């Protein structure tokens, strides 16, 4: 009997139950390319999965499994596995509303997947859009899901969120913090770590020699120190340190022009200094197709960059492109991470 042993195991989750996640997953799994890329296991509540299929107007046959440990050895029959969990009742979910019940559901499913990853049972996670607000209502103590993942997975090194659009990836030195706090987080060490991490992550995504640029913080790159000294005192020394250590990067470049070079293919990655510096550019270039990659974790975790889209939840109008891109990156990186673990072990 044919087995899926050579394929990485990717766990797929349904996201916030009040949003468009279940519909997106139905559209994704209806495409045979999805199960061709990986040994897929869907994790979530059966009623929510049924609802997502109904909203999308498509039926996807899944093979039930009793645990995530059973997925890797299951017969390869082209069907995704499905691990049923009981995390939230239908009557607890108000469509298009961020509620504690939905946030608790998301946390329960993602924590189960991360526990399986720590046991070596899965190789990557791709999650449908969630609501940070709902997760905080449910008790998440962190500013975002990435910090929750890092704590749960025992990460002690540098980690950051990557936003990607096609061939272009961005990392950032500070993330979900008030803008007034961002300059204090701008250090040479954090810039070096952000650049090193995105360089190695792109290699895991199949880019042999990534071309990386570093953005400036101040208007016009500080204008030689007359419009801010962060470039001279912090960013330029970080660029020199990176190049000396064998990570080739260029910059710093003024943030209002570097994305033009990247759009035209000159760079595959940009290290930005704070959240909106990269997010505005990426979302303007292609909001419907962007992917968020959780960088610096022991396994790849990806998600579409758009949110729960409460305004169109339940209408059957959700665009699957970003979810398909997120899944493809998870599967590609899962193989690279798995192979590197095998070499190390």
Which tens digit of pLDDT belongs to each residue from 51-110? 999 999 999 999 999 999 999 998 767 899 999 999 999 999 998 999 999 999 999 999
% of the chain beyond a pLDDT of 90: 83
Residue 213: band (very low, low, confident or very high) from pLDDT cuts 50, 70, 90: very high
Q: Is the pLDDT reported for residue 343 higher than 70?
A: no
Structure confidence at residue 303 (pLDDT): 97
Rounded-to-integer distance, Cα 335 and Cα 338, Å: 5
Q: Is the pLDDT reported for residue 340 higher than 80?
A: no
- In terms of Cα–Cα distance, which of 320, 37, 337, 326 is closest to 206? 337
Residue 2: band (very low, low, confident or very high) from pLDDT cuts 50, 70, 90: very low
Q: Is the pLDDT reported for residue 302 higher than 60?
A: yes
Instruction: Give the residue, 301 or 177, on which the prediction is more confident.
Output: 301
Partners of 11 in the β-ladder: 41, 125
Residue 338: band (very low, low, confident or very high) from pLDDT cuts 50, 70, 90: confident
Q: Is the pLDDT reported for residue 143 higher than 90?
A: no
Structure confidence at residue 275 (pLDDT): 92
Rounded-to-integer distance, Cα 189 and Cα 197, Å: 12
Structure confidence at residue 344 (pLDDT): 61
Rounded-to-integer distance, Cα 314 and Cα 18, Å: 9
Structure confidence at residue 337 (pLDDT): 82
Residue 336: band (very low, low, confident or very high) from pLDDT cuts 50, 70, 90: confident
Rounded-to-integer distance, Cα 81 and Cα 101, Å: 25
Q: Is the pLDDT reported for residue 117 higher than 90?
A: yes
Q: What's the average model confidence in pLDDT over 178-187?
A: 93
Q: What is the pTM of this model?
A: 0.91
Sheet with strand 39-44: strands edge to edge: 63-64, 81-84, 39-44, 9-13, 124-127, 301-304, 291-295, 160-165, 168-172, 269-272, 212-215, 249-253
Structure confidence at residue 282 (pLDDT): 86
Q: Is the pLDDT reported for residue 290 higher than 70?
A: yes
For the stretch 253-284, pLDDT in tens is 999 999 999 999 999 999 999 999 988 888 88
pLDDT, mean over the chain: 93
Structure confidence at residue 342 (pLDDT): 62
For the stretch 45-66, pLDDT in tens is 999 999 999 999 999 999 999 9
Residue 206: band (very low, low, confident or very high) from pLDDT cuts 50, 70, 90: confident
Residue 1: band (very low, low, confident or very high) from pLDDT cuts 50, 70, 90: very low
Residue 4: band (very low, low, confident or very high) from pLDDT cuts 50, 70, 90: low
- In terms of Cα–Cα distance, which of 27, 336, 326 is closest to 164? 326
């Amino acid at each position: 009997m044919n087995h899926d042993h050579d394929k990485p195991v990717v766990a797929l989750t349904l996201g916030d139950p009040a949003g468009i996640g279940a519909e997106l997953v139905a559209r994704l799994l209806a495409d045979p390319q999805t199960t061709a890329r990986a040994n897929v296991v869907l994790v979530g509540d059966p009623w929510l999965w049924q609802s997502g299929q109904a909203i999308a107007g498509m039926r996807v046959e899944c093979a039930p499994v009793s645990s995530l440990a059973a997925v890797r050895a299951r017969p390869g029959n082209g069907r995704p596995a499905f691990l049923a969990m009981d995390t939230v009742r239908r009557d607890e979910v108000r469509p298009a509303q961020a509620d504690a019940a939905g946030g608790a559901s998301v946390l329960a499913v993602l924590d189960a997947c991360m526990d399986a990853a720590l046991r070596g049972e899965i190789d990557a996670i791709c999650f449908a859009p969630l609501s940070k607000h709902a997760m905080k209502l449910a008790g998440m103590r962190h500013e975002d899901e990435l910090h929750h993942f890092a704590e749960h997975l025992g990460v002690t090194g540098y980690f950051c969120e990557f936003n990607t659009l096609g061939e272009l990836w961005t990392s950032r030195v500070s993330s979900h913090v008030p803008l007034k706090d961002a300059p204090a987080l701008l250090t040479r060490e954090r810039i070096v770590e952000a650049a090193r991490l995105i360089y190695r992550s792109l290699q895991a995504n199949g880019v042999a020699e990534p071309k990386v640029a570093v953005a400036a913080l101040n208007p016009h790159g500080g204008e030689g120190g007359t419009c801010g000294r962060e470039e001279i005192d912090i960013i330029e020394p970080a660029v020199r340190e990176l190049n000396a250590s064998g990570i080739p990067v260029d910059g710093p470049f003024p943030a209002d022009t570097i994305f033009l070079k990247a759009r035209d293919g000159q760079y595959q990655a940009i290290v930005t200094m704070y959240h909106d510096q990269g997010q505005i550019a990426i979302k303007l270039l292609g909001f419907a197709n962007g992917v968020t990659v959780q960088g610096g974790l022991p396994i790849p975790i990806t998600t579409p960059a758009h949110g729960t889209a409460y305004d169109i939840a339940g209408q059957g109008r959700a665009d699957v492109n970003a979810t398909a891109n997120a899944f493809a990156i998870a599967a590609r990186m899962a193989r690279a991470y798995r192979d590197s673990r095998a070499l190390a072990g």
